Amino acid sequence: MKSSRSRLYITLAILIGSCYVLVPTFFGFDALYEKSESAPSTLPSYVNYFPKKGINLGLDLRGGIYLEMEVVQDEAIKNRSDLLTSEIERNTQSEGFKPVTAIRAANASEITFTFKDAAARDAFGKYLSSNYGQTLVERRDRRTDTSVTADLNDSTKNYVKEQAVKQALETVRNRIDRYGVAEPTIIRAGTNRIAIELPGAKDPERAINLIKRSGKLEFKMVDESVPTNVVAQKVQEARQSLGLDEKFTEDQVTKINAALAGKIPEGDEILFEVQYDPVTKKVVGGVPYLLKAKSELTGDMLRAAQVNISDNEPYVSLSFNSLGTKLFADLTKANIGKRLAIVLDGNVSKAPVIQSEIPSGEAQITLGFGDYQNILQEAEDLSLVLREGALPASLKELTKNIIGPTLGQDSINRGVRSSLAAAVLIIIFMIAYYHLSGLLADFALVVNILLTLAALAIFGATLTLPGITGIVLTIGMAVDSNILIFERIREELRAGKSPRNALDAGYSNATRAIIDSHVTTILSGIVLYQFGTGPIRGFAVTLIVGAVTNLFTAIYLTRWMQDYVLQKVNRERISV
């Protein structure tokens, strides 16, 4: 009696607790909280007595964005070569073998260092071997009387590629967290891809731009040895020879620079200040600049980036760390009267003339004129990107699916209807075939579904459309477990055993098989979750949780109800 009563209390506590955690899901607390953001007084007081969050709905149920992005790993290698070039130039400032020039080959990781004589070349070769031997390898076949060509070794290239994906994953995750999307899913897919799910994202294009934006900030000197009109003429001739229209995409800029190789000073590149219509935000033109390809300063040295407003126009103010402040001060002091271009994601933001030394290590990026709210939003997004750091390499969009909330609600309705239809058919079958035992099994089935949903809410798991399929599969597993038990009980009764002995033997003999099958299912679910992406993981989650809750309902709950019926209702036989 005491054991039976304790089982009753445990079961009631679990049921009440499950219902409690599911109140926010069934009564739409998410919609109430969303509505209260614009009108706080509309939030009912009773919501404070329940958990704030219910079950997280996945992308296919809630609507949102699914992206697959490829990390351009070769670009990360180029960036590493650029950093090494600048580092070596700084570290050899006081040496007699300081390179006269250091140029990275276009679209490659090779760096060519040029010297005034062979002695300086030989001294640099020894320096390179002793200080950068673990990173760079000299290309002996490219050595000349006054130059040394070095390349990243294979192990460094592989390391840079691997780190590029890891850093891109972390940077994207930080940006999305700051952006405010609830319960995003950001995982690595394959060797160089990132899969991103943003359920409930209200402004898909803004979120996509925030993810894709490289955030690479560079300060480069303008090469004014070639007149501006000559630069513009060379660019126009390159466009005509290549058959390019008046666009300023990354691909076009790369082609233009390739066509102008040998026609502009070595170590220079052409970049554009893209001009936009203030109303339509469409590209209306671009001003070409001849820049030194080597970055004098990068966004890696930023200490802070924040939005400020001057004369009712938002802009992004920048401040550098101690090293960046020193380098910026030295740069501005040595180049008074010259133009310094601020380059963001390969486009010139502006190129002001340096009027005097700037020892404070502060700069600013203006965003032009136009609609105040649009510019403010652009400034906020830019400051967020700069604060979280640039991507180690650009992201190439491979797959983009935008699912509207209406389609998501339709998926919910269909999933719920199919689950209810399956449950009703099973309930009718179980009662018709197993009588009272079937009714008890049906009650356990309802409890099983309730516990599965409650577990999803408690652990913050995400319910997807394949996840609903997993719940339907769980219903089948639960019924299968009960059928296995009931058939074993029938066998024992036909063998002439008493109802009590038949019940004990039926559960004892069937339990081992049930546990074996469920453990196998749970292990399969773990493998699916580990190696699958969004929809597959959603299915795996409900499969694992459903298998665990089914062990409780099939072995513990139905056994207790059968015992109670046998003791209290009908001691003579089992209705099975």
**Domain 2-63+406-569 shares a fold with domain 217-372:** no
| Residue 273 pLDDT | 86
Q: Which fold has domain 217-372?
A: Gyrase A; domain 2 (3.30.1360)
The answer to whether 211 and 194 are in contact (CB under 8 A) is no
Contacts (Cβ under 8 Å, ≥6 apart) of 118: 145, 146
CA distance 120 to 146: 8
Residue spans of the domains in the chain: they are: 2-63+406-569, 66-212, 217-372
Contacts (Cβ under 8 Å, ≥6 apart) of 309: 315
CA distance 401 to 18: 34
Q: What is the rounded end-to-end Cα distance, in angstroms, of the chain?
A: 24
CA distance 302 to 424: 62
Contacts (Cβ under 8 Å, ≥6 apart) of 472: 418, 419, 422
The pair of three-digit structure tokens given for residue 337, joined into one six-digit string: 């009267």
The answer to whether 125 and 109 are in contact (CB under 8 A) is no
Identify the CATH number of the domain defined by range 2-63+406-569: 1.20.1640.10
Nearest to 186 by CA among 61, 68, 63, 73: 68
**For 355-408, what is each residue's pLDDT tens digit?**
888 888 787 777 766 677 777 877 777 777 777 666 777 888 888 887 766 655
| Residue 401 phi, psi (nearest 5) | -125, 125
SS3 199: strand
Provide mean pLDDT across the span 328-351. 86
Tell me the C-alpha to C-alpha distance, in Å, between residue 512 and each of 54, 186, 448, 497, 500.
35, 39, 20, 21, 19
| Residue 310 pLDDT | 74
Provide mean pLDDT across the span 23-50. 74
Question: What percentage of the chain exceeds 90 in pLDDT?
Answer: 10
Query: Rounded to 5 degrees, what angle do the CA atoms 52, 54, 56 make?
Result: 120
| Residue 279 pLDDT | 64
Identify the CATH number of the domain defined by range 66-212: 3.30.70.3400
**For 252-262, what is each residue's pLDDT tens digit?**
888 899 899 88
The model scores a pTM over 0.85: no
The answer to whether 478 and 549 are in contact (CB under 8 A) is no
The answer to whether 339 and 224 are in contact (CB under 8 A) is yes
